[in-house]
Amino acid sequence: MNGEWLIRGRDGRLSVYQMSNEAVLCRAERAPGGPWEVPRKVGGDQRLLPGPAIGQGADAYVHLVSWLPTASGESSVVHSTHFRPLLAALDWEPLGHPNDAGDRTGTPVVAVDAQGRAHVFVRNDSGGLSMRAQKQRGGWGPWRDLRGRQLQDVPVAAAGKGGRIEVYATAPGAILHWRQEKPGVKFELVESVATAARPGSLRALATSPERTTVFFTDADSGELCAWRPGDKPVPLVTAAGPGPVAAVRCVIDGHDCTLVAQRSTDTGRVVFAAYPSEQEVMGAQWTESGPALPADALVSLALDADERLVAATLCPSTGELRLTRRKDEPGLALGPWQAV
């Protein structure tokens, strides 16, 4: 999944979204902190292409976006909304193609503004960024070309508490940044930062009401870096593995902290690093946890109904899901990893 796939729903239940046999499956707790249901298919029986995206709004509804093959050599972007973990999601709704017709152009991302409107972003055939958004009174607006060029496939997007969406994508030698001046208005390509970001390593997280932090791996140094528009990128810690980190804000010992996690290539275990939010200059250190995992293992972070940190790992090759929760003691102490 493109985005955090461990989600706390509106009813407090945790759910996990995963790709399996050309479909998106959802597995949810029967009650907050309780046993888990078996996986269920989301959105109907259509055959999806790999690389679906997930996003969640302030209303806690989950929005899913994927590519659906429609004809020989052609595909369409589709969207579904999941209101409750134990209810069926809406059927996949076709959104068309950013270039009117053609094959899959890149991995999509979805973000949700303060009014609950989903915004879908995907690279287009010209190598720029295209967007389609839900209207306030229902339905969808047209595909819009947000410009940019030579984008390296996977954009990321996040909405702060103010509801304004920020979008980022890598291009050769730079990270590009699009933003809204306020929720509901058009996006502008407003800034770029010169940096050798490793393609596919971006993760965006709202770290304050008006600011979003982008995490990426520097392709030259191998450092995990953090960048906020208007500032310079700050090295945080050596990246433990390829791809993006999982990230979440949480309270640790009374302090607002940002926690990142990743599977370590060296040991196969999950590593965690925490630091006071937006204070990357203080640095961070990895701490290992759990068993060694296969190379395809994914990591995601969330807060449960009691605002406790929860970490999950999912191995697509085996289907094994494991979870751990933070213990009620000082520091970042995690309980045993449990297979679900």
Q: Name all domains of the chain by residue range, CATH numbers in brackets.
A: 201-340 (2.115.10.20)
Mean pLDDT, rounded, for 202-206: 96
Which pLDDT value is given to residue 208? 87
pLDDT at 88 over 90: no
Its pTM stands at 0.95
Which pLDDT value is given to residue 96? 97
pLDDT at 185 over 80: no
CA distances from residue 107 to 42, 66, 117, 124, 155 in whole angstroms, order as listed: 19, 8, 20, 10, 8
pLDDT at 184 over 80: no
For 31-52, how does the pLDDT look when each residue is reduced to its tens digit (9 = 90+)?
999 999 999 999 988 999 999 9
For 92-148, how does the pLDDT look when each residue is reduced to its tens digit (9 = 90+)?
999 999 999 999 999 999 999 989 999 999 999 999 999 999 998 889 999 999 999
